[in-house]
Amino acid sequence: MSTLTAKPQETVSNTRAGVYLRVIAYLLDSAIAIPLCVLFMKLLGNDSYTPFFNEIIILLYFSLCNSIFGATPGKLILKLRVLNLNGEKLNIFRSISRELFKVVLAYILFINFAWLIFSRKRLTLHDIFAKTQVINTRKVVS
């Protein structure tokens, strides 16, 4: 006599990513973006390079990755995706606007990621203004 056992079902979480995963993804992306900035500084020469170039490189890194791949490498490693509120991949214009909001809110107002800690909807201010969300796509067993 054999007994039947049900296999656990795997589903995709599709919940908004919380603070810890997003901070880890940001640190991973920083480990990629900072060497890119150093590389460009070496290519352009120290005399003509300004911190403004760093901002442009970082803005392009995040914007292009989010619009082309749906996430940055750090987010891809953690199985996170950046989507619009309809669940679709960002176009380049929404991705750039998201990054511009992030720069303004993070560097000028210093409240962007602090907002995420207290947000019940798990949205940063730049997510709210750009109408985007970061989704956790890890498979969960139910």
41-88 tens-digit pLDDT? 888 776 666 778 888 999 999 999 999 999 999 999 999 999 999 999
Q: In this predicted structure, what is the pLDDT of residue 61?
A: 96
Give the closest residue to 109 by CA, choosing from 91, 95, 88, 129: 129
Q: In this predicted structure, what is the pLDDT of residue 9?
A: 54
Residues 115-138 have a mean pLDDT of 88
- Return the domain boundaries, the chain: 10-141
* Identity of residue 46: N
Residues 6+ apart with CB under 8 A from 76: 69
pLDDT tier at 26, thresholds 50, 70, 90: very high
